[in-house]
Amino acid sequence: MKDTLLPAVRVAVCQAADRLDTDAVALTAGSAQALDVGLNTRVQDLRQAAVAAWRAGVPAALIARDARLDLATISGWIDLEKQEGGEPKTPAR
């Protein structure tokens, strides 16, 4: 993907997904606790980026594609955000 063609929030989702993929391999070399903490941190980073993209108006299906996750996972994160009072902007194009 060309970063110049994507809104910054979508780029952030792609970057967080890349970090999760890359770091997962490195984290397996450490202890089980380091793996657990590291993966949880990377997943939370990805969740925050996904929610930020949704708040900016990016449709959930595009976020799922950028995050390389299924739509149900992204929808679950969005549903949690809605329960906490979050609202999206008008969908981005």
**Other beta carbons within 10 Å of 62:** 18
**Alpha helices, H only, the chain:** 8-27, 32-55, 60-67, 71-83
Place of tokens 């490195």: 26
2-39 in b/e form (b: 16+ CB < 10 A) is: eeeebeebbbbbbebbeebeebeeebeeeeeeebeebe
Asked if the model's pLDDT at residue 2 lies above 50, the reply is: no
What tens digit of pLDDT does each residue of 31-72 get?
889 889 999 999 999 999 999 999 999 999 999 999 999 999
pLDDT at 25: 85
Average of per-residue pLDDT values in the chain: 88
Query: Residue ranges of the domains in the chain?
Result: 3-82
For the whole prediction, is pTM greater than 0.85? no
Farthest-apart Cα atoms in the chain, separation: 44
